[in-house]
Amino acid sequence: MPTRTGAQIIFECLVQEGVHTIFGYPGGAILPAYDAMLDYPIRHILVRHEQGATHMADGFARAGGGVGVAMATSGPGATNMVTGIATAQMDSSPIVCITGQVPGKLIGYDAFQETDITGITLPITKHSYLVTRAEDIMPAMKEAFHLAKSGRPGPVLVDITKDAQQAKIDWAWDPRPAQMRGYRPDYPITSEDLARAAELIRSSKRPVILAGQGVIQSGATRELLALAERIDAPIAMTLLGLGGVPASHPLNLGMMGMHGEAWVNHAIQEADLLLAFGMRFDDRVTGNVKTYAPHARKIHVDIDPSEINKNVRADAAIVGDLRETLVDLLEVLEAADHEAWLAHIDRMKGDAAVRDIQRLPDTGHLYAAHVINDIWRITGGNAVVVTDVGQHQMWEAQYYHHERPRSLITSGGLGTMGFAVPAALGAKIARPEAEVWAIVGDGGFQMTQAELATAAQEGIKINIAIINNGYLGMVRQWQEFFYERRYAATPLRNPDFVKIAEAHGLEAHRVDTRSQVNEIVERARAAEGTTLIDFRVEQEDSVYPMVPAGADLHAMIRRPERSVLAETGADPI
């Protein structure tokens, strides 16, 4: 049996788990691992901030469907990962974070760069490990990967003391699967649960399917479409579910919720049955839960039993893998016809066309919605788009029409500004053949703009579209609507983003009018390396519709009608 150091065992385990790329930043407590890394076939992406490492691992996991890996040292290196870990936890993204820790005999004595990172991260991980012996590294690593990717995916942290990394033991890889007593990632689907759900579906006259990220994570697109077509039910999408059903499919209504399409929210409020598939009834989806879908019975299918009845009470619940559940439902459900209901929803679109900013004439103003819709048109809808958080995130969801799973990567649950650029770099590593766009706000971009150096050093090609309106846009919108335009701490004095990109040796452009968009976007696509485009858009633009926080889902603030705007000469936003 060969002798290995604990540091070597870390990388032996990573190789066995199929890892070929990790994202990290070295430091004293993790140096033994970094030294060992040189002898293994694993690419290391040197980030400029540990938060960037976790977002890159997250983007890698979401784009490629595997497990992302991030590595950092103890103390500030580990605590800098916390935001990225929480982001992954809220959005069920499978990542494994490996951190160094001070030697075991110094734990609890406030040693240099000592932090109880397992204690800090317990609430925001599926599990956190503190490993103090080389013998325990392999079991912890095997369990970490098993936990991260099984059941409801999520982040796992493995904190390994420096002396455990340095210790030598006789060691061999154990190929047996990880066995964890008490951990039940898979739940059997009972015939009683299926029968109850099937009966509710048969008796429904106004069904609506709510499709969440679980559709993507379970690989259930084909089965969901087959079910929707069989029972003739429209599909409403959550933000993280976009791409799980092709945007062009006639049964796809579009996005629901706070900034969802008006007719989608009205359809939910008028439905007599909601079929919630792989979604968790987030508050941004439901609005006021007391008035949410008041006439509808609810079927909830989710792999995580803790989500059942947590936010919205279910009349029928199935805990299990969504794809398997849909296969079972297809076996017992017959065809249905809801032509009248679908026609009613179509009529509810009403004046949406005259309210759509895409139909406004080009008056020389550059609107974010125009920019994003043009990027969709120019890329043929085939790009992987990674967004930051804010107004641009919602405009992307509305105006970039996703046809395939894993083509939209965004921070939904935690709403993490600074997510997009590092996550886009991770996505490009996972899918090097894909065209990757990071669509960011001018505020969020500045939080992780240091990762431009990572893109330059590692030769990673992404395109960055900054929707630059000189404000923290979504916060400004709330201040406009609910705080009498008292713009406290939202105006931004931005640097010259073009010069910043050029300082890193990257190509960069500035766009002020819509007539420039086509040419500059095509130049970015043709460039060999990462390219940044600074889109100077209208400053006081707003996202419509909008459901005020805590309001009824149907109580939406709508965009003014185009005819009214034309008559008054008012600004269309």
So what's the pLDDT on residue 571? 41
Task: For residue 22, give both structure tokens.
Answer: 């990790």
Q: List C-alpha distances in Å: 517 to 391, 401, 468, 537, 544.
A: 19, 18, 14, 12, 23
Residue 177 lies in a domain: no
Shared-domain flag, residues 419 and 307: no
Shared-domain flag, residues 382 and 466: yes
- Give the residue ranges of the chain where pLDDT is below 50: 563-573
Task: For residue 174, give both structure tokens.
Answer: 């154990």
Write the secondary structure of 338-353 as one string of H (helix), E (strand) and C (coil): CHHHHHHHHHHCCCHH
So what's the pLDDT on residue 566? 41
Residue 178 lies in a domain: no
DSSP string, 60-126: HHHHHSS-EEEEE-STHHHHTTHHHHHHHHHTT--EEEEEEE--GGGTTTT-TT---HHHHHGGGSS
Shared-domain flag, residues 164 and 197: no
568 burial class (0-12, 13-18, 19+ CB within 10 angstroms)?
A: exposed
Residue 395 lies in a domain: yes
The domain that holds 80 is classified in CATH as: 3.40.50.970
Task: For residue 485, give both structure tokens.
Answer: 């335009």
- Domain-terminating residue out of 296, 324, 348: 348
Shared-domain flag, residues 321 and 450: no
Shared-domain flag, residues 376 and 495: yes
Residue 560 lies in a domain: no
Residue 64 lies in a domain: yes
Catalytic residue positions? Answer: 50, 112-113, 162, 474
- Domain-terminating residue out of 170, 203, 232: 170
Q: List C-alpha distances in Å: 291 to 10, 134, 255, 269, 296.
A: 51, 55, 19, 8, 11
The domain that holds 314 is classified in CATH as: 3.40.50.1220
Task: For residue 175, give both structure tokens.
Answer: 């190929």
Residue 463 and residue 434 in contact, taking contact as beta carbons nearer than 8 Å: no
Shared-domain flag, residues 267 and 143: no
| Closest by CA position to 415, among listed 259, 275, 251, 269 | 259
Q: What is the count of structural domains for the chain?
A: 3
Domain range for residue 221?
191-348
Q: Rounded CA gap, 372 and 398, in Å?
A: 9
3-state secondary structure of 531: strand
What is the length of the chain?
A: 573
Residue 551 lies in a domain: no
Shared-domain flag, residues 149 and 238: no
Q: Rounded CA gap, 291 and 270, in Å?
A: 11
Write the secondary structure of 143-173 as one string of H (helix), E (strand) and C (coil): HHHHHHHCCCCCCEEEEEEHHHHHCEEECCC
So what's the pLDDT on residue 233? 98
So what's the pLDDT on residue 254? 97
**What's the gap between Cα 536 and its chain centre?**
26
- Domain-terminating residue out of 141, 170, 199: 170
Shared-domain flag, residues 342 and 400: no
Shared-domain flag, residues 76 and 165: yes
Shared-domain flag, residues 8 and 146: yes
Shared-domain flag, residues 153 and 197: no
Q: Rounded CA gap, 73 and 79, in Å?
A: 9
So what's the pLDDT on residue 363? 76
Shared-domain flag, residues 413 and 469: yes
Residue 556 lies in a domain: no
